């Protein structure tokens, strides 16, 4: 029997739902806290810290690669806000498929910046994140505990 003709009892297994929920929650928390850490400096969180941290990150990547400063600054300006928004969206299950896709693109963009400065360890860690997002996209049809229904995803 081909995978396309498999009975629905094989595709709606509770362990797939549980696996997806655990993965979605982990990715949501990881993404949310990655966003929060962009606002931190010396143990305090503020918008001032965010803009300083992002300017430092953009300048460091631009200075050590062929990427122009305007491009790295533009990416860095939105980075923390997007990470927080995507993390929250994953945690509550809002537009999960779309959020996973854009989270994967964001992590791929971060990987590209680290590839440009030859930061292999960071690229490897982000590669794991991208792989987890890709796996979550494979399992997203088992998203049962979400704010928006599967038809909305």
* pTM: predicted TM-score of the whole model, two decimal places: 0.86
Q: Tell me the mean pLDDT in the region 68-85.
A: 96
State residue 34's pLDDT score. 96
**How does pLDDT run across 114-136, given as a tens digit for each residue?**
999 999 999 999 999 999 999 99
Phi, psi for 40 (deg, rounded to 5):
-100, 140
State residue 147's pLDDT score. 83
State residue 11's pLDDT score. 64
DSSP state of 144: -
**How does pLDDT run across 90-113, given as a tens digit for each residue?**
999 999 999 999 999 999 999 999
Q: What percentage of the chain carries pLDDT values higher than 70?
A: 90
Residue positions counted in the chain:
153
CB 85 within 8 A of CB 30: no
CB 118 within 8 A of CB 82: no
Rg (CA), the chain: 18
pLDDT-derived band at 150, boundaries 50, 70, 90 = low
- Rounded CA gap, 93 and 23, in Å? 12
CB 61 within 8 A of CB 112: no
């Amino acid at each position: 029997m081909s995978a396309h003709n498999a009975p629905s009892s094989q595709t709606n297994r509770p362990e797939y739902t549980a696996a997806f929920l655990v993965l979605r929650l982990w990715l949501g928390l990881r993404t949310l806290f990655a966003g929060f850490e962009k606002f931190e400096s010396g143990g305090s969180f503020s918008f001032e810290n965010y803009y300083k941290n992002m300017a430092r990150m953009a300048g460091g990547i631009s200075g050590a690669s062929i990427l122009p400063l305007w491009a790295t600054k533009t990416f860095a300006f939105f980075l923390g806000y997007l990470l927080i928004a995507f993390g929250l969206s994953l945690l509550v299950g809002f537009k999960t498929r779309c959020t996973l896709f854009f989270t994967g693109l964001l992590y791929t963009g971060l990987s590209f910046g680290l590839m440009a400065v030859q930061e292999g360890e960071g690229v490897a860690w982000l590669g794991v994140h991208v792989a987890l997002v890709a796996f979550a996209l494979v399992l997203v049809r088992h998203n049962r505990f979400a704010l928006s229904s599967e038809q909305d995803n």
